[in-house]
Structure 1
């Protein structure tokens, strides 16, 4: 029993990597929801719900292992912080998918698709950054990924302001404004969640460099 308490548990890397991969999977599934708008999206939504439940189990396992493990490969608070940041990505994506399923197909414009693509790119960087922790990647490599993630988030912010400017010009139907504003802001929030997870990884690597 005591030997297991004091043994360094690298399982945390595996759990965090699986968590990042599941967040990426949700982003991929969201693109599928967008493709099927105007038709029956129940199977696509169910796939996202299942992915989200799997992600919740991973988050719970991280918490449980932290309670049982004495020596961890990273500081306990860093593991908790990163696990929490990753948890918020699929949680937000699930909300977006539910909104898309309700959204009239005529509002599913190219701009929404572009935001979803930015989210997809953001999750790619998150997966790579979390994977770099186990590999003890150098600061320069982490910085490059972080810069790309910040650029994606910046593009998302600019896109959101352009979209809101179009909605607020007084020419859009009020119902369209309500629907798209909610959708745009959720998508921008999901991209921000990716940036937040990347920030945690960057800070962890900076601490140990």
Structure 2
């Protein structure tokens, strides 16, 4: 693979903004799919198509990284941020897919709340990605992501407690919802990790 000596640093910022936008689109699709299930206007095919588009942005970022001599910030940070945003989308798609795979009849309020928190967190992450070049407003967005992740942890604990509290619940249903809750939590954790990478970028380039 040929390394280019012609600076194309601006393209990194364009692609990160696009990755953030794609992640937000997926988060909104998944939130609506959960909220409206089983009669949602959003299909798993639509979620998968948006996830695949995000894979393309990630590939473009890594290709650009591997072919550029000059980068706007640390190479490891660029790679980590690209892959963590990709993980957010992958985990969201996985949770959405489990709705159909497990034949879920109705969503729980905990799952819907997790999805709502995820949309808000990804909104803040997308804002941070969009403002990477000038670094304006990034810190506040990162603080919001952390607060939302903490809130998501509380919802997850409450969700799991409610599953195991009622002995009348079919064990298979417990297993299914535990998997879904944890997939959504992994998406939120990846969102926080991406925010931490951006925080490191801000510190290193202050």
TM-score with structure 1 setting the length: 0.89
What do the CA deviations read for 1:190-209 (whole angstroms, capped 9, x no partner)? 11111111111011001111
The residue that corresponds to 2:118 in the other structure is: 119
Q: 1:178 to 1:146 in 2, by over 3 A?
A: same
What do the CA deviations read for 1:79-119 (whole angstroms, capped 9, x no partner)? 11110111101111110110122344544122211110001
Q: Structure 1 CA distance, aligned partners of 2:141 and 2:170?
A: 40
Q: What is the root-mean-square deviation in Å for CA atoms of aligned residues?
A: 1.9
The residue that corresponds to 2:138 in the other structure is: 142
Q: Structure 1 CA distance, aligned partners of 2:37 and 2:135?
A: 42
1:129 maps onto 2:155 in alignment: no
Q: Which runs of 5+ in 2 are unaligned?
A: none
Contact 1:92 1:186 survives alignment (8 Å)? yes
Q: Structure 2 CA distance, aligned partners of 1:10 and 1:61?
A: 13
1:34 maps onto 2:34 in alignment: yes
What do the CA deviations read for 1:40-59 (whole angstroms, capped 9, x no partner)? 77x62111111111111111
Deviation at 1:144, TM superposition (A): 2.1
Runs in 1 of length 4+ with deviation above 6 angstroms? none
Secondary structure of residue in 1 paired with 2:193 = helix
Secondary structure of residue in 2 paired with 1:72 = coil
Secondary structure of residue in 2 paired with 1:133 = coil
The residue that corresponds to 2:44 in the other structure is: 45
2:181 pairs with one of 167, 180, 184: 184
Q: Which runs of 5+ in 1 are unaligned?
A: none
What do the CA deviations read for 1:46-77 (whole angstroms, capped 9, x no partner)? 11111111111111111111222111111222
Aligned residues: 203
